[in-house]
Amino acid sequence: MRLTALEKDMIHRGNLLWLLGAQAICIFPLLIKLPFWIWLVWISALIWRVQIHRGRWYFPSVWVKLFLGIGCAVGIFVTFSGIRGVEPMVGFLVCSFILKVIEMRTKKDALIVLFIGFIAVAAQFLFAQDVLAGIYGIFSLFILLTAWQAAFYSRPISIRQYFKIGGTLVIQALPFMVVLFIVMPRLGPLWAVPLPQGKGKTGFSDTLEMGDLGELVQSPEVAFRVAFNDVPPPAQQLYWRGLVLDEFDGVRWQTAALLARPIGGAPNTSFAPGEVLRYSVIVEPHHYRWLFTLAPLISADSSQLRLEQDERGLLFARRPVVNKAEYSAISARQPVAADQALSERNRRWLTHLPEGNPRTRALVEEWQAQSLTDQQLVDRALALFTNNFVYTMRPPRLGPDAVDDFLFNTKRGFCEHFASSFVFLMRSAGIPARIIVGYQGGEYNNLESYFLIRQSDAHAWAEVWLEGIGWRAVDPTAAVAPNRIELGVADALDVEERDLVGRVRWSSTIAYALYRHWDALGYSWNRWVLNYDRQSQQNLFSDLFGNNSPWRIGLGFVVVSIGIFSLYAAFQFFSRVRPAHRVEDRMMFRLLRKIAKMGFERYPQETLGQFAMRVSQTAPGLGQQLKMIANLYNAVIYAEDKEASEKLMGALNSAERQLSRGFAKSLKG
């Protein structure tokens, strides 16, 4: 029974399963970022479409579709009211994708669904851009292309063949994807769109109370990764400055807002190669403006962020860091001497203290009565912390005079306790001082030669101003718990507190080795793929072509494209499967070629019997012999007659010998 054109264009069972499966794979990473009610919409639409296929339910009417569309739009508006981000747009896209499946009838509708699927795959990268997201995106494309083939295939084939077809298309497209990624102008990557607003801020804030960093250290999340251009310094020398806290109200330290100026990529003064540290940082999104560098910072540069620096040497981005970003920096290996004295205004500001903590003030007055120099006062304060103080993540609560309570009563605290009390001591002595918060140390990965700094590496230390020297970093925590600087937070704590530190724990060395390899792969992905910007592209073109001339780049693109096409054509030619013919077929083809030289050529649409009848009209002898050969051939091929096979071989050999000996005339007779 012949099918009508409409029946041929309808979506059949196999096509529907492929389309629903492809939709599920494309929207799954999006659904987990969207409200739960969209899951219910998808499941309901899935059930409805299956019931339509089974003939139990009907396709939705125009009014029903209008109601569903308005309902989803209202749901998105209510759910995301007041939220500016990508979630409302993605939610609308997913709802449209889901509802389109309900009204899908023909293969044309299936094609529209598949096209929406490609947009959904692109939307996946709004939420994640790591290696796993890239792999899943390619897998989604593979399923979409396979579903595309399945929806339009006219004959049933196995699932393995469908996968082979889809995989072949993806593999063939990958070289061109790579070439286009390299040569297309970098107009701003997809992931420059602000990340979802639901993601909370990570890391420390611009205020600090005693106990804040103890909570942050419990997080194993990655803060940033750093690669040095040359041999990196030891981890214990890595103090990553993030913020300066220079205002104290008696309870809370906070940073003062100062004017920041744009910072350039080249240092203002010349340094010998061994005097500076050159490094690049890939920072995770933390939704704040501050960035992390080693002090003293000389210069910094980024093609993704607009960088600024204030007079305290802090590095900022012009806008909050809401996407993973890379910047490079240059810092001096040794402290740089101050070229001018501290202004009187800054001195008053950096020695100001609120009322309170009388015991601490009295202790400092005793020290000052001994006519100690500023450096001796610093040493005396550090020596104080070596007397029965304990480094702990479980410090007791402090009273209103927190510094007094800590120094003379509890003597148990975390790094912010020691930094805060030390700065209070210095300011009480009239020495300008401030708290620095950032990170200290890091885990070195020698596979790609970079440091991984986690939130658990968060740290607070101090800086003091010494006349004729300038700002110098002082870490009072190192006086109490030197293992914190040498080995890390966990090794400086008691055994029962080590589990409080946010670190990844591994059941075996194999698991840890696999993690290191995976993290190294992710670092390379971030550096060479996500951070492949306009500057990186120009540097690459300069290395490959000598300069960035458009004609050179265009010529290179054409040559590479021709090379890929040539390799593909050669692969297709040498890998094509040539049909294996029977002995009878090969002998038959050879005989027909010889007969064609006599002027009797077989038409493509002719059977062997029809060809013999046509030859008989002009050459009866040859035609009669061909009729006999045709009958034997049909018996061998279609009836699998083994006796006829031997007769066919003999007849073919006989006819070929006669033609070879020039007996064409006798055959014609």
Place of tokens 């200290």: 440
The Cα–Cα gap between 649 and 632 comes to: 9
Place of tokens 């605290």: 413
Query: Do 392 and 412 form a contact (C-beta atoms < 8 A)?
Result: yes
| Amino acid found at 354 | P
Query: Do 510 and 118 form a contact (C-beta atoms < 8 A)?
Result: no
For residue 620, whether the previous peptide bond is cis, meaning omega lies within 30 degrees of 0, is: no
Q: Are strands 390-391 and 412-413 parallel, antiparallel or unpaired?
A: parallel
Query: Do 321 and 283 form a contact (C-beta atoms < 8 A)?
Result: yes
How many helices and strands, by DSSP H and E, does the chain display? 25, 18
Place of tokens 């006599």: 598
| Amino acid found at 298 | I
DSSP code for 305:
S
214: closest CA among 396, 387, 63, 33? 396
Angle separating helix axes 534-545 and 550-575, nearest 10 degrees: 80
Q: Is 487 helix (H, G, I), strand (E, B) or coil?
A: coil
Place of tokens 């290395």: 543
According to DSSP, the residues that pair with 224 across neighbouring strands are 283, 453
The Cα–Cα gap between 620 and 614 comes to: 10
Task: Indicate if 352 belongs to the active site.
Answer: no
Query: Do 86 and 139 form a contact (C-beta atoms < 8 A)?
Result: no
Q: 404, 457, 475, 519: which one is catalytic?
A: 475
The Cα–Cα gap between 473 and 46 comes to: 63
Query: Do 68 and 99 form a contact (C-beta atoms < 8 A)?
Result: yes
DSSP code for 502:
-
103: closest CA among 30, 5, 11? 11
The Cα–Cα gap between 116 and 391 comes to: 57
Q: 246, 404, 459, 519: which one is catalytic?
A: 459
The Cα–Cα gap between 481 and 461 comes to: 13
Helical spans, DSSP H, in 335-494:
344-351, 358-368, 374-385, 402-405, 415-428, 476-480, 482-486, 489-492
What is the Cβ-side half-sphere exposure of residue 75, based on CA atoms within 13 angstroms? 19
> Which token pair is 240?
């990553």
The Cα–Cα gap between 350 and 342 comes to: 10
Residues ≥6 apart with Cβ < 8 Å to 1: none
Task: Indicate if 533 belongs to the active site.
Answer: no
Q: 401, 415, 417, 519: which one is catalytic?
A: 415
Q: What are the CA-CA distances from residue 560 to residues 179, 263, 549, 553 (Å)?
A: 8, 39, 17, 11
Residues ≥6 apart with Cβ < 8 Å to 363: 407, 425
The Cα–Cα gap between 37 and 31 comes to: 10
Beta-strand ranges (E) seen in 88-234 are: 207-208, 222-228
Catalytically active residues are 415, 459, 475
